[in-house]
């Protein structure tokens, strides 16, 4: 590796010395903030130097400041910075841990790592293929963020103008608690076809793929319930307590997830936002010392604002196409990311040539 790049430890920048600006600060796990002064000219590449984020690679296009929690590329030695980022991103640096209690990277231990070095032209071609996938993922992410922001604003505006009455969820919607089929039963988890979610899945804004698959026998012989697409999911315990997600497929879930839905499409669309608006009221009911939680009954008793039928239908008319567009973009991102992650090691090792990868990449975005 020492023939390809020169790594150096970053520089300290205490939080009380940081000033408002647009210069990205590279830390151990990516861009951790911004400053008004750059230490190095971009583009820049860094990797996490210590802790749980050891080896996490970051690329920035502009001038930047690398913190002492990362190693950054001081000299690219004529190599393409984007390709160098990909190179570092696919190396398992955990194997080069020089720490004991705290994982740590020593740049001197990394000098002798053997790496393949294609021509600069090939490096640039590899970076272009992978970068095109990243750019499409970023565009889709921006689209979904915009849709979410527009709809949240639209909901607040319509709620402010409307005459709404509080109604308990249990009186106007289906509220179900999930469950986990027995892990001792292999026939519940082998060759499954029914999507099943763990509570971590609710960290996503919208859910387009399952945590695992279970069998029909598991669904019939456990507490888990099948929920339709467009269900609002709430995490009711532990670290994910209070997380809300929109289910974009039919799925079941575990006992840390409550699903809320209505067969009334307009009402169902409204509920996703109405529940978010009253989330603090729900969390105020949480109990438990070591692990806070709310119950299915708490969710059923949560009162949310419901306006007139005209308002519900008008909001659904605006929200439905945007929600569908965001779901399509999210699904496409999963495909694009899977394609990128599959191409990366093949391209970097030389097992796959760029011309073959270029044929696969457009298909992923179709």
Tokens of 316: 């659904």
Q: For residue 150, what are its two tokens? A: 């527009």
- Domain 6-114 matches domain 165-306 at the CATH topology level: yes
Displacement of CA 248 from its chain's centroid (Å): 15
| Integer angstrom CA distances of residue 6 from 73, 75, 111 | 6, 5, 8
Tell me, letter by letter, the H, E, C secondary structure of the chain: CCCCCEEEECCCCCHHHCCCCCEEEEECCEEEEEECCCCECCCEEEEECEHHHCCCEEEECCCEEECCCEEEEEECCCCCHHHHHHHHHCCCHHHHECCCCCCEECHHHHCCCCCCCCCHHHHHHHHHHHHHHHHHHHHHHHHHHHHHHHHHHHHHHHHHHCCCEEEEHHHHCEEEECCCCCCCCHHHHCCCCEEEECHHHHHCCEECCCCEEECHHHHHCCCCCCECCCCEEEECEHHHCCCEEEECCCEEECCCEEEEECCCHHHHHHHHHHHHHCHHHHHCCCECCCCCECCHHHHHHCEEEECCHHHHHHHHHHHHHHHHHHHHHHHHHHHHHHHHHHHHHHHHHCCCCHHHHHHHHHHHCC
Per domain, the residue ranges of the chain are 6-114, 125-142+319-364, 165-306
Q: pLDDT value at position 96?
A: 84
Which pLDDT score is estimated for 101? 66
Predicted pLDDT at 164 = 97
Query: Which two tokens mark 293?
Result: 């939680």
Residue among 95, 85, 64 at smallest CA distance from 127: 85
User: How high is the pLDDT of residue 218?
Assistant: 99
**Residue 60 buriedness (CB in 10 A; 0-12 / 13-18 / 19+):** buried
- pLDDT at position 363, please? 59
Q: Residue 199 is encoded by which pair of tokens?
A: 């509570």
pLDDT of residue 366: 57
How far apart are alpha carbons 34 and 181 in whole angstroms? 46
Tokens of 179: 């469950």
CA nearest to 271, candidates 325, 301, 233: 233
Q: Write out the two tokens for 122.
A: 């090939």
The predicted-structure confidence for 187-212, as pLDDT tens digits, reads as follows: 999 999 999 999 999 999 999 999 99
User: Which pLDDT score, from 0 to 100, does residue 360 have?
Assistant: 67
User: Residue 98 has what pLDDT?
Assistant: 74
* Span 77-132, pLDDT tens digits: 999 999 999 999 999 888 787 766 677 888 888 998 999 999 999 999 999 999 99
pTM of the prediction? 0.85
Tell me, what's the pLDDT at 355?
Answer: 77
Domain at 6-114, CATH class? alpha beta
Phi then psi dihedrals of residue 296, to 5 deg? -60, -40
The Cβ of residue 134 has, within 10 Å, a number of other Cβ atoms equal to 15
Domain spanning 165-306, CATH architecture? Alpha-Beta Complex (3.90)
pLDDT tens track of the chain, all 366 residues? 999 999 999 999 999 999 999 999 999 999 999 999 999 999 999 999 987 888 999 999 999 999 999 999 999 999 999 999 999 999 988 878 776 667 788 888 899 899 999 999 999 999 999 999 999 999 999 999 999 999 999 999 999 999 999 999 999 999 999 999 999 999 999 999 999 999 999 999 999 999 999 999 999 999 999 999 999 999 999 999 999 999 999 999 999 999 999 999 999 999 999 999 999 999 999 999 889 999 999 999 999 999 999 999 999 999 999 999 999 999 999 999 999 999 999 999 888 888 777 776 655 555
- CA neighbours closer than 13 Å in the CB half-sphere of residue 140: 21
């Amino acid at each position: 590796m020492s023939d390809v790049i020169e790594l150096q430890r970053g520089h300290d920048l205490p939080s009380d010395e940081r000033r408002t600006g647009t210069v990205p600060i590279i830390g151990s796990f990516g861009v951790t903030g911004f400053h008004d002064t750059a230490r190095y000219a971009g583009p820049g590449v860094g990797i996490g130097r210590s802790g749980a984020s050891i080896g996490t690679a970051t690329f920035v296009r502009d001038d930047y400041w690398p913190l002492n929690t990362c190693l950054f590329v001081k000299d690219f030695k004529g190599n393409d910075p984007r390709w160098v980022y990909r190179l570092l991103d696919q190396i398992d640096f955990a194997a080069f841990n020089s720490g004991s209690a705290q994982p740590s990277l020593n740049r001197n231990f990394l000098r002798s790592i053997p790496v393949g070095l294609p021509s600069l032209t090939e490096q640039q071609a590899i970076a272009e293929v992978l970068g095109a996938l990243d750019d499409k993922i970023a565009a889709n992410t921006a689209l979904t963020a915009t849709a979410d922001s527009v709809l949240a604003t639209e909901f607040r505006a319509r709620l402010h103008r409307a005459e709404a009455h509080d109604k308990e969820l249990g009186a106007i919607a289906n509220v179900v608690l999930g469950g986990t089929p027995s892990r001792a039963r292999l026939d519940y988890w082998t060759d499954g076809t029914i999507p099943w979610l763990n509570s971590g899945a609710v960290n996503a804004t919208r859910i387009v793929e399952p945590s695992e698959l279970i069998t029909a026998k598991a669904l019939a012989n456990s507490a888990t319930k099948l929920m339709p697409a467009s269900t609002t999911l709430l995490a009711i315990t532990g670290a994910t307590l209070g997380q809300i997600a929109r289910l974009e497929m039919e799925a079941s879930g575990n006992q840390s997830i409550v699903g809320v839905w209505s067969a009334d499409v307009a009402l169902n669309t409204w509920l996703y936002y109405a529940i978010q608006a009253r989330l603090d009221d729900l969390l105020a009911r949480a109990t438990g010392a070591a692990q806070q939680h709310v119950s299915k009954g708490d969710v059923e008793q949560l009162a949310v604002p419901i306006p007139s039928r005209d308002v519900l239908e008008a909001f659904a008319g605006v929200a439905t196409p945007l929600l569908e567009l965001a779901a399509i973009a999210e699904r496409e991102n999963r495909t694009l990311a899977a394609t990128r992650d599959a191409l990366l090691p093949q391209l970097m090792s030389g097992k796959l040539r760029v011309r073959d990868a270029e044929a696969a990449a457009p298909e992923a975005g179709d």
